[in-house]
Structure 1
């Protein structure tokens, strides 16, 4: 649908297309001098070096999005996550989570397509608890048939603590060059 924009000027109305633009090529040359733009490879190397600085800095807190049991979790160091279902691990076992979708910090993000290479990005975790969830009531009543069914459901949980997120600097050079 085509609509016209109108501008009110004192006693009459004119469409915006009736006004001329005050910017011409000569005005652009005076007020907008051309700056040298860095090449694509220079910009890429600058971004890679800045991300490498952030990754190597121990004060920078990294986060990762990991994939476990058909669910995604956003985790950082010392986080605790609950995994539904009984995972065949014992308490105190240290595991390496290799399905990492994304790693990032305050100033950068590295995305996988769909996963990051497990040789370059790893998340280490420890099993700290195996428990069950609080009981939930599953009540079914069918009217007219006088059928009532009451079930108490509890789900098994495995609790993990994220120990550390490690990013190898090689991931920067291989993904971006």
Structure 2
């Protein structure tokens, strides 16, 4: 009513008020009345069949395993690994930098176990939150331990004769990713279907 009274005070034409009322009523239709027009046959998930979805999963697993059997078909693999609180997308030959103190020394070969995702040309395997330990093998080598560039921290308070300059260099560790390989088969064990999503 406040809308109509303000419109009448401004002497708006009645035809515009009629259009405004129909627009206002159409916007405030109840969601139940809008849903009642749909039939049960058109609702998503009405034709859900568990046995059919299990067959679809098995077909997808078979296709991915066939794709993994020949390395030229899946191309160069990539992985997303969790390392020192951060996530890195890596492929074989990449060099990544880990910031902060990290115990491994130069020329150590390490195995990155927390793999969140791995994929190729035709498939991607997602973990919940990480993939099984025996499925993906990501090998890396420590190639350099160094310090970062010098960061300057400058503080000054005007008219107080207060000035401080501090310099900081944090330790960095550089890794070379040697290989990203899928060594197992998807859904080989009973728990594989619970820990892998295929998209």
Fold similarity call, TM over 0.5: yes
Aligned partner of 1:155 in structure 2 is: 170
CA displacement 1:14-71 (0-9 Å, x = unmatched): xxxxxxxxxxxxxxxxxxxxxxxx9323322221122123333323111111111111
Aligned partner of 1:71 in structure 2 is: 86
Query: C-alpha separation between the residues in 2 aligned to 1:147 and 1:64?
Result: 50
Gapped regions of structure 2 (runs ≥ 5): 1-23, 28-50, 195-199
Matched, 1:120 2:163: no
State the secondary structure of the residue aligned to 2:154. strand
Pair 137,173 (structure 1): closer, same or farther in 2 beyond 3 Å: same
Aligned partner of 1:43 in structure 2 is: 56
State the secondary structure of the residue aligned to 1:170. coil
Say if 1:52 and 1:172, in contact at 8 Å, map to a contact too.
Answer: no
2:117 to 102, 116, 123: 102
Structure 1 or 2: more helix by fraction: 2
Query: C-alpha separation between the residues in 2 aligned to 1:126 and 1:41?
Result: 41
1:83 to 91, 98, 110: 98
Query: C-alpha separation between the residues in 2 aligned to 1:71 and 1:84?
Result: 10
State the secondary structure of the residue aligned to 1:173. coil
Say if 2:82 and 2:116, in contact at 8 Å, map to a contact too.
Answer: yes
Query: C-alpha separation between the residues in 1 aligned to 2:69 and 2:98?
Result: 30
State the secondary structure of the residue aligned to 1:48. helix
TM-score for the superposition, normalised by structure 1: 0.73
Structure 1 or 2: more strand by fraction: 1
How many Å apart are 1:149 and its aligned residue? 1.0
Query: C-alpha separation between the residues in 2 aligned to 1:160 and 1:136?
Result: 23
Query: C-alpha separation between the residues in 1 aligned to 2:151 and 2:141?
Result: 28
How many Å apart are 1:161 and its aligned residue? 0.6
CA displacement 1:94-142 (0-9 Å, x = unmatched): 0001011111112211111111121222211001111111112111112
The count of residues paired between Structure 1 and Structure 2 equals: 144
TM-score for the superposition, normalised by structure 2: 0.65
